[in-house]
Structure 1
Amino acid sequence: MSHTDQLYWGGAALIVLWLLLFGLSLLATRNGTVTPAPATQEFGPDPESPAVVSFLGNNWRGVGSAAAATLLDLAARGYIELRQPADDPAASTVHVTDEGRAAQDLRPYEGRVLERVISRTTEGGAPIGAIAFRDAKRAAAFNAELRKDIVAEARLRGLSRSRFASWLAGGLMLLACAPGVLFGLAALMGHHGVRAAFVVCVLPASAMFWLLAKVLGERATPRGLERAGHWAGLRAWLTAHEDFARLPPAAVAVWDRYLAYGTALGVTSLAGRLLGFDAGDRRRVWSSYGGTWRPVRIRYPRLLPGFGASKGRLLQLAGAAALVAAALIAFGVLRQPDWTIAADAHDGGTLRRPGLILSAGWVVSVLLGVIVAGKFRRWTLFLAFLATMPGNFASGTHGWWHDAAAQDGPVPVEWAAIVVFGALAVYFVVLACLELRAPHTITGEVLRVEWRKDRRAARFLALDEGGTDLTTAWALPAASRGIATGAQVRLTVSRGTRTVRSAELIRAALWEGDWSEASAPGRATA
């Protein structure tokens, strides 16, 4: 065995050794079993906060209900007031009391929740739905910081610890680098080049680092298991109350801190769902622009042809649609019956089947339009090949495919396609002409800014102009900067394509608001 082979086998052996040690570490550091205590309504001396209880109740992994439970706990302690003016719990409002605005000695995560509520409420309060974030990144960042604060307190109280000790995590990281080093040396000795050596060096370590990062987290201490068992007893007591799970947030005035702990333990499904600190409903956003809170419904024109296109792009799309229509006409007029040969049992592999000729002509016509439209992608030819398959299986001397191929001029399905693509060409030309008009100017508050699947495409910008409860998203060019959720802006727009041409910042989004990009006073680009 050569030295190169020895290095490769040595690297493979180290990977097996690492996986074995990794598996043994997982077994040795798994959480213990929580033994539920008898049902009880007592919190016990020096009870943990509902946020920490949420962490323990989720097996030391997540804190999904911690923010909602903390809000209810703040309400039970008099910092926040929840009101339900009607029968619908979703119509409840949240208000910050004078004690809440002057609060000082709060835990870090309680301060975060209270700051969020203060930022979204006015003197008259705010709907509970307005607490939700308008931006997914901002919501994720808020909840990540909230989890760090909760984990820090759980560790301080001796309820949680790092799953892997620092020496164990460091040793596994160091050992994960060894196989890649051996593979890299073997690649160099085998004259595979520096690039190949770098690849085989990095890939094994990256995979093992990824596995290690997936399990690095928290695990219970003996004290933590004991306290989790106590709170499991409280969960059993709360679950015995049949109506407790359906209590609205405003019921905190009657149930006091029990509602907060019930939300933390997953017993109160309704209150936890209504008090969401996530990205919220992207189609229904609460807005106070104009002076009063109201829900604004957002429509996203995903299927609108020409959405966000410039004049040049519209003319390009018009040319592509016109080319498809012209190609279909030409194919229908020039097509001759002798182009096809009816396949039989002795000539089943012919390329001149009626169905294959027709489907190939249609696919080529569409491909020409795709190329002109600039939409040709890596898988376009493969999809075109699949599109010809139905016609490839049509054979014989009669049938629809044979009759259509023998017909003079375009067949009805071709005429239908010609009309559709012709109408699209006219539509794009009309839109391009409308773009010559002077753009409109609108003013409002940005409700949401969302990326689309294709990051090069225009983003959706939902603007609340203050005069309606329904708005349709505008197309914000992907390269634009300075448009932030929560900011007040003056937009210059083209209504035909619903495109934002330019944007001027009137008031930047404050820190307490939720934003998707940093914004600064001045003129934004679009």
Structure 2
Amino acid sequence: MNVHLLDAGLAAAATAAWYGAFEAARLVTRPRGVHPAPSTPDLGAEPPAVVSLIASGWEITEDAGEATLVDLAARGHLELRQPGDDPLQTTIHVREQPDTGLLPFERQILDRVKHLAHGGVLPVSALTFRDEGQAQTWDKRLRGAIVAEARRLGLSQRRFPPALVTGLMALAAGVSLVIAWAVFHWLSLQPAEGGGDNTGGAVGAAIAAFLISLGVFSSAAVADQGERDTPAGREVAARWLGVRGWLHGHEAFADLPPSAVAMWDRYLSYGAALGVNRVVTGVLHLGLGDRKRVWSSFGGEWHRIRVRYPRLWPRYGKPTARLVRQALVTLGVGVLLIWFRDRIEVQLAHTVLVTVGTLLALLGAYKLIRAMLDLATVRTFDAQVLWVERWTGTVLGKDDPDRSYLAVDDGSGDRTVAWARPSGLGGRPGDTVRVTVRPWSRRVVALTVL
């Protein structure tokens, strides 16, 4: 058996074992589903932002901030007025009322309104941020305060508890030692320059490999993995899902504007937190827009769509001609490597050339076949445009002027993957369009606004 292949296999197996353990930890700690309690109009004591967290599968959405703003109006700190028929004409009026007893995230939102208001009045269109950096900082602080309150109430907890993080760190140290040994063993068998012993260089490389591996694995282990449920949280979430069911029973509730808080009181703020009211979440915007959870009215009823945006797909949005050209190049390189193997006398290099060449040839053939099938399986369907955004799909994050993300809802489900729209095609959020696409490359071929 080739000792170098054995070392490489040992390092690869150790790395795969760690990432397998990491994914298993994520699977075990994912939030569990909650069965709604019977419909009820009884509101609980939890603030709307926390309700939004636990009712959305322990994920914070933009509804948390919007619901909190409406709740501040329901409790008398603000007043929402709509002078005309358009809810977008709503204005926010600051009331002279003591703001003692507010939670940190409630005070943060109230302070932002007071800071932006002139003469105590603020149009809702002025709520959004104009600086992306400020928006991200403000959003991060708001989300942290909401999570802290949910944990204080015992309704949420870190997805990875300290004991699990410690275990993953210990496993990372063990895996890093295995990788370091593989590097040391491989290099120690290589002669140094001049034919001397290479032990010193092997030790230095092994130490570097250990530190780098430990850093990579540890950073993944300690990263914030989000929130998960608790027994008390599931019980409270079930009750609030019962409230959501009760609010769904009122057909007109989904179309109530923010100013309706004067009549519906805190029911409107909790309805926004539970995703029942679509007008409130459409009018109020605190710079917390979530491109991955977008409202859609396609099909006649308002619902949310989860959108995924590919970044590293080599085929994403590319024309068929380019895909065919790349496939032929890959196939050709693979064939050349296999053909060139007989010119190499070193057994290791011979094995590597055959292995890499075979893999490239198979990959090129697969891409060529899929590109041809993609050209022959064009689809046309009607949909609603949810989101349009410039595509930054390279590792360096550079924009591609030929492509932009186009997320649409075609009514087939509550999840979708954004298509790649070439430059020159139209379609804005809210438009109903007829699109022709190539499914494998996810490239839009034609688009007509209906």
Q: Is the 8 A contact 1:53 1:265 kept in 2?
A: yes
Q: Which residue of 2 aligns with 1:75?
A: 73
Q: Which residue of 1 aligns with 2:194?
A: none
Q: CA separation in 2, counterparts of 1:90 and 1:190?
A: 73
1:61 aligns with 2:59: yes
Which one of 218, 228, 245 corresponds to residue 227 of structure 2?
218
1:177-214 deviations in Å (ceiling 9; x for gaps):
43344334433435587897677556655664565467
TM-score normalized by the length of structure 1? 0.49
Q: CA separation in 1, counterparts of 2:89 and 2:17?
A: 59
Q: Which residue of 1 aligns with 2:425?
A: none
| Number of residue-to-residue matches in the alignment | 279
Q: Is the 8 A contact 2:11 2:182 kept in 1?
A: no
Pick closer, same or farther for the CA change 1:185–1:65 going to 2, 3 Å: same
What amino acid sits opposite 2:244 in the alignment? R
Q: CA separation in 1, counterparts of 2:215 and 2:248?
A: 45
Bigger radius of gyration: 1
SS at 1:81 equivalent: strand
1:343-358 map, 5 Å: none
C-alpha deviation, 1:75, in angstroms: 0.2
SS at 1:129 equivalent: helix
Q: Which residue of 2 aligns with 1:114?
A: 110
Q: Is the 8 A contact 1:54 1:264 kept in 2?
A: yes
Pick closer, same or farther for the CA change 1:279–1:260 going to 2, 3 Å: closer
Q: Is the 8 A contact 2:18 2:175 kept in 1?
A: no
C-alpha deviation, 1:226, in angstroms: 0.7
Q: Is the 8 A contact 2:10 2:182 kept in 1?
A: no
Q: CA separation in 2, counterparts of 1:216 and 1:190?
A: 41
1:89-144 deviations in Å (ceiling 9; x for gaps):
11111011000xx3122100001000000001022401011111111121111111
Q: Which residue of 1 aligns with 2:127?
A: 131
1:60-459 map, 5 Å: 60-99=58-97, 102-188=98-184, 189=188, 201=210, 204-205=213-214, 208-209=217-218, 212=221, 216-278=225-287
Q: CA separation in 2, counterparts of 1:3 and 1:201?
A: 20
Q: CA separation in 2, counterparts of 1:117 and 1:7?
A: 61
C-alpha deviation, 1:37, in angstroms: 0.7
Q: CA separation in 2, counterparts of 1:152 and 1:56?
A: 13
SS at 2:251 equivalent: coil
Q: Which residue of 2 aligns with 1:19?
A: 19
Q: Is the 8 A contact 1:12 1:179 kept in 2?
A: no
Q: CA separation in 1, counterparts of 2:29 and 2:217?
A: 18
Give aligned-pair identity as a percent: 42
Pick closer, same or farther for the CA change 1:26–1:123 going to 2, 3 Å: same
Flag structure 2 segments of 5+ consecutive residues without an equivalent. 191-200, 290-396, 400-450
Q: Is the 8 A contact 1:160 1:219 kept in 2?
A: yes
Q: CA separation in 2, counterparts of 1:89 and 1:60?
A: 30
C-alpha deviation, 1:43, in angstroms: 0.8
Pick closer, same or farther for the CA change 1:234–1:6 going to 2, 3 Å: same
1:446-490 deviations in Å (ceiling 9; x for gaps):
xxxxxx968xxxxxxxxxxxxxxxxxxxxxxxxxxxxxxxxxxxx
Q: CA separation in 1, counterparts of 2:64 and 2:18?
A: 36
C-alpha deviation, 1:254, in angstroms: 0.7
Q: Is the 8 A contact 1:11 1:178 kept in 2?
A: no
Root-mean-square deviation (CA, aligned residues, Å) is 2.9
C-alpha deviation, 1:145, in angstroms: 1.0
Q: Is the 8 A contact 2:154 2:230 kept in 1?
A: yes
Q: Is the 8 A contact 1:158 1:224 kept in 2?
A: yes
Q: Is the 8 A contact 1:134 1:279 kept in 2?
A: no
What amino acid sits opposite 1:113 in the alignment? I
Q: Is the 8 A contact 2:66 2:272 kept in 1?
A: yes
Q: CA separation in 2, counterparts of 1:206 and 1:85?
A: 58
Q: CA separation in 2, counterparts of 1:209 and 1:267?
A: 41
Q: Which residue of 2 aligns with 1:39?
A: 39
Pick closer, same or farther for the CA change 1:58–1:279 going to 2, 3 Å: closer
Q: CA separation in 2, counterparts of 1:257 and 1:151?
A: 21
C-alpha deviation, 1:170, in angstroms: 1.8
C-alpha deviation, 1:16, in angstroms: 3.4
Q: CA separation in 1, counterparts of 2:223 and 2:274?
A: 25
SS at 2:287 equivalent: coil
Q: CA separation in 2, counterparts of 1:91 and 1:57?
A: 30
What amino acid sits opposite 2:89 in the alignment? A
